[in-house]
Amino acid sequence: MGSGYLTSPLMLIINTLFDLYILLVLVRFLLQMLRADFYNPVSQFIVKLTTPPLRALRRFIPSIGGQDSASIVLCMCLIYAKFLLMRALSISVVHIGGVLAPLAGVSYAGLLVFCIADLVALVLTVFLGAVIIQVVLSWISPGQYNPVIGLVHKIAEPVLKPIRKLIPSIGGIDLSPLFASLLIVVAKMLIVPPIIHLGSF
């Protein structure tokens, strides 16, 4: 068996564990920024899981503009640690927003730029996921409310609201999710590759 026999499943485990926790921290930041319901059971679950490292970071990192900058710093640190660990395992490339980025031979500053690209891609993915989930839930259980629907709506609405003003419903059909999804995908295609290219030097 080749050297990749154990490396591939190990890479999957590393990516999954790091990405899940990074996602939780990022969602916490977005929910705070969008002033979501703090007493929502899902919000409470996210807060409990992410508070310990954030409490330590907030001793050194103050809020900026009323936003919890410690959450963004924690996301960046976790992404950076993930890339370093993957490079230590001789993993030469990583997917960032659907784009291949070289880990081998890249400077530590370049890895930091890759972290920015990965975080931007994740933010756009969260908004895209929220839009898609809201559409699916509106088909499955229209008019009903549960804690997940409330938070998904809170994340998706800042993306959908401006589009609804420009593109009204046609025949009672709301087309804003379609255009929002398209714009998010295009934004990811236009923003992420140049950042990765910058970090490759």
pLDDT of residue 1: 45
Distance from C-alpha of 88 to C-alpha of 103, rounded to nearest angstrom: 10
pLDDT of residue 17: 93
Residue ranges making up the domain that contains 122: 4-199
- The token pair at 106 is 């890249």
- The token pair at 101 is 């980025």
Q: How many CB atoms lie within 10 A of CB 143?
A: 5
| Total count of domains within the chain | 1
Residues in the chain with pLDDT values less than 50: 1-2
Q: How many CB atoms lie within 10 A of CB 84?
A: 13
Residue identified by tokens 């890759």 is 114
pLDDT digits (tens, 9 = 90+) for 56-88: 999 989 888 889 999 999 999 999 999 999 988
pLDDT of residue 168: 80
Is residue 156 within 8 Å of residue 134, measured between CB atoms? yes
pLDDT of residue 7: 65
pLDDT of residue 105: 84
Q: Which residues contact 124 (CB under 8 A, 6 or more apart)?
A: 97, 184, 187, 188, 191
The half-sphere exposure of 70 on its side-chain side, counting CA atoms within 13 A, is: 15
Q: How many CB atoms lie within 10 A of CB 115?
A: 22
pLDDT of residue 179: 93
